[in-house]
Chain A
Amino acid sequence: MKITGVKATRPAGADQKSCIVELLTDAGAKGIAIAAAGARAQIKRLVKERLIGADPRGVTGIWQLMSDPRSAPRGKAYRNAIAALDLALWDLKAKANGEPLWKTLGGARPRANAYASHRNPAASDAELTTWFQRMAREHGLRGGKLRAGADANGDARRLGLMRAALAEATPDPVLMIDAGHSWPVKQAIDRVRAVEQQFDLTWIEGVSRDGDSRGLRQLSDSIYGAVCAGTGLVTIGEFLPHFERRSADVIALDIGAVGITAALQIADAAYGLELPVTLAAAPGNIHVHLAGAMPYFMSAEIVDPLPATGLFTSDVRIADGWAVAGDRPGNGLVLS
């Protein structure tokens, strides 16, 4: 199987933030990935310069070639483009074997521990309650994460609503908060300590910057819950300060930023320190495929349990608190 070209198209209509990547091959199979719209030009360039004629089954080597620090430009669009192509290549590798991606990656079951994540800090109390109730009732999700808001009283109230809503699935919901990178460390310490008077928090993420290992270590030393960081980091080397300083207690990986190849490498490295790994939500919830291949996998973020964008369908299902990948060959994304 050889790569012959790529289509990277902006969908018409609502979704202006993403583009659809179709990596074309001489065998007819297409590697599908949903990428950030800004990466479109780089994706086309990379395919033209590096990927034409390559066998997608050599995805790890291709990833190395694309991300070689001696030749790879820095910058977000380029990194996103590498990640998107890595996703599409893994899709092809699995399709070449006629098997679902989770099996190609070596997982022994398609199932991942999952939690519900509401990312809108401006959501009303009623919206939060309704949404988390649905996550608990219809999908059995036993954990929830919400964006912390502007005032401390609001945090406690909203956490209370989330806990009450999730109580439909479990008497002891897992609670997490995301500060959306709006808090410096000292403020995070004050806010989390206040919240921890009433709530047992599994983790807090989105404090300071993801690379601020000194600050995050200070935070971790000052609160009971774990500090989760990593979604703002891209290369394996950027995680090293957290490993050295033990500043992130949970490593979060966003496959849309790091790709699958590097995500698995970083997960192995984190396992050396027994740091749990959580996966940030990806379009179509295809991140769930990686869970079984990670030696210390913790949880998968679910932002939308039934992605219905009109652009694609996915065969990942969220039921009884688990995200379960399907049996379609590849990552299970089918374009509409």
Chain B
Amino acid sequence: MKVTGYRVELYTMKMERLVGDANLPSGVEMLPGSIVSLETDGGLTGISLGYGGAAIEGLFGIIEGADPREVLGLWIRMNDFLHKAGNEGAACAAMSAIDMALWDLKAKIAGEPLWKTLGAREGRVKAYASGLDYCLSDEDLFNFYRRMAEQGIDGGKLKVGLDLKADLRRLGIMRDALSVASPQPLLMIDSNEYWSPKQAVRYIRQLEQHFELQCVEEPARRWDYHGLRRVSEQVEAKVSTGENLHSLRDVYPLIVNRAADVINVWTGQSGVTGLRQIAHMAHAYGLEVSMMNAQANYMAQVAAALPNHNMMEVVDPGREHCLRWDHRIEDGYIVLSDAPGFGIEIDEPKLRALQVNPPTGRGKFPFPRREGAGRYIVPPAPGEVPWRSG
């Protein structure tokens, strides 16, 4: 079977609610979507979801006519092709998208779900809930984590960083909501790089006087291996980072310098192939990895086969407008089906409708960085968030 062509579909989604973090606590509800499809002479189509649509053309020539089953070798070819300009930015996004679609095809050719192609014994991944919740009222916050806990999910990750007292109160709300799933829920926080390393240490220390934290995500800048390591050494919680890095090349200084205890992985890190490389290197150093959230949780397919994966982030703002899938969450686990490949199908009429009549709404993902980040805290202005300070 050979790759014969490609199709890029760009569209815009309006989520069912706002999502926000320390950089934009008021949140956004608009999200760009990109679907890359690789067509073959065998009638199968490989798809990838994400942000990779823009620069496919420059890389497609490398894989045109190739057998998708040879995806690792094709990854090497694409990476070698990008030698001079670098596997970065739009090129990296395109390479990630192509690699994902090739893996989808490889699994579809074998007639099996991707988790099986990757060698997993079962299509089952432990989940934790992530509210993307700085824009949620206390009540909506509770409702989100309770809804997740009712599906057996016993871990939660709260957006924090701008208001210590409010964050303490909201950590308590998250814990209470999750307590129906476990008497000791796993509590995590994420400041999305709003702090300097020392700000992070001070802030987290104060949180840890009241709560046992499993993990703190992006407490300092993504490349700052000295700073991240300092945070890890000075707080009880594990430090996780990596979602804004895009290849093993970017991540390796964190691994060899033991700057993070958990590496966040996702398919934007040079595809399934690239994220597996990161996970395998982390594994050699005794580090865990954690899969980032994904539309319809499609990346659970990959997480299921990683030797050192702990749990995957699950969110539910509603980003699946034109997707069909049939996996589910059961007893705190993402349970994948036997549908071939990623197990995702495109609802073409709905996609067309989104393209023809793009919805409108507040803001647009991704967030810019907030004023003061890394230096001083700018707390939410009156009316910026639906929760009270302190």
> In the complex, are the beta carbons of B276 and A268 less than 8 A apart?
yes
- Using C-beta atoms within 8 Å of the partner chain, give the interface range for chain A: 35 or more
Interface-facing stretch out of A159-167, A209-217, A232-240, A322-330: A232-240
With both chains docked as a complex, state the minimum distance between the C-beta of A272 and any C-beta of chain B, in angstroms. 4
Chain A residue with the shortest CB-CB distance to B277: A268
Q: Which single member of B67, B69, B277 contacts A271 (CB below 8 Å)?
A: B277
| Most chain B C-beta atoms within 10 Å of own C-beta, residue among A54, A62, A108 | A108
CA distance A229 to B138 in the complex (A): 57
Chain B residue with the shortest CB-CB distance to A107: B73
Given contacts A58-B116, A237-B286, A243-B285, whether A104 and B69 have CB atoms under 8 Å apart is: yes
| Most chain A C-beta atoms within 10 Å of own C-beta, residue among B75, B106, B121, B305 | B121
CA distance A213 to B157 in the complex (A): 40
CA distance A137 to B75 in the complex (A): 34
Q: Which single member of A54, A64, A106, A266 contacts B69 (CB below 8 Å)?
A: A106
Q: Which single member of A61, A236, A243 contacts B122 (CB below 8 Å)?
A: A61
Q: Which single member of B75, B284, B307 contacts A240 (CB below 8 Å)?
A: B284
A-B contact count (CB 8 A): 115
Q: Is A10 an interface residue (CB 8 A)?
A: no
Given contacts A57-B119, A60-B119, whether A268 and B72 have CB atoms under 8 Å apart is: no
A257-274 to B contact mask, C-beta < 8 Å, 1/0:
000010011101101110
> In the complex, are the beta carbons of A272 and B116 less than 8 A apart?
no
Q: Which single member of A59, A236, A293, A295 contacts B284 (CB below 8 Å)?
A: A236
Q: Which single member of A108, A240, A261 contacts B286 (CB below 8 Å)?
A: A240
Given contacts A103-B70, A104-B69, whether A269 and B122 have CB atoms under 8 Å apart is: no
CA distance A108 to B256 in the complex (A): 30
> In the complex, are the beta carbons of A271 and B248 less than 8 A apart?
yes
> In the complex, are the beta carbons of B119 and A266 less than 8 A apart?
no
With both chains docked as a complex, state the minimum distance between the C-beta of A87 and any C-beta of chain B, in angstroms. 14
CA distance A269 to B277 in the complex (A): 7
Within 8 A of B (CB), among A278-317: 292-293, 295
Q: Is B255 an interface residue (CB 8 A)?
A: yes
With both chains docked as a complex, state the minimum distance between the C-beta of B126 and any C-beta of chain A, in angstroms. 14
A231-256 to B contact mask, C-beta < 8 Å, 1/0:
00000110110011000000000000
Within 8 A of B (CB), among A49-66: 54-55, 57-65
> In the complex, are the beta carbons of B116 and A265 less than 8 A apart?
no
Q: Is B283 an interface residue (CB 8 A)?
A: yes
A-B CB contact pairs (8 Å), 14 listed: A55-B121, A57-B119, A58-B121, A61-B120, A61-B121, A105-B72, A240-B284, A243-B285, A264-B280, A265-B283, A266-B280, A272-B277, A273-B252, A295-B75
Q: Which residues of A contact B (CB under 8 A)?
A: 54-55, 57-65, 93, 96-97, 99, 103-109, 236-237, 239-240, 243-244, 261, 264-266, 268-269, 271-273, 292-293, 295
Q: Which residues of B contact A (CB under 8 A)?
A: 66-67, 69-77, 79, 106, 109-110, 112, 116-122, 248, 251-252, 255-256, 273, 276-278, 280-281, 283-286, 305, 307
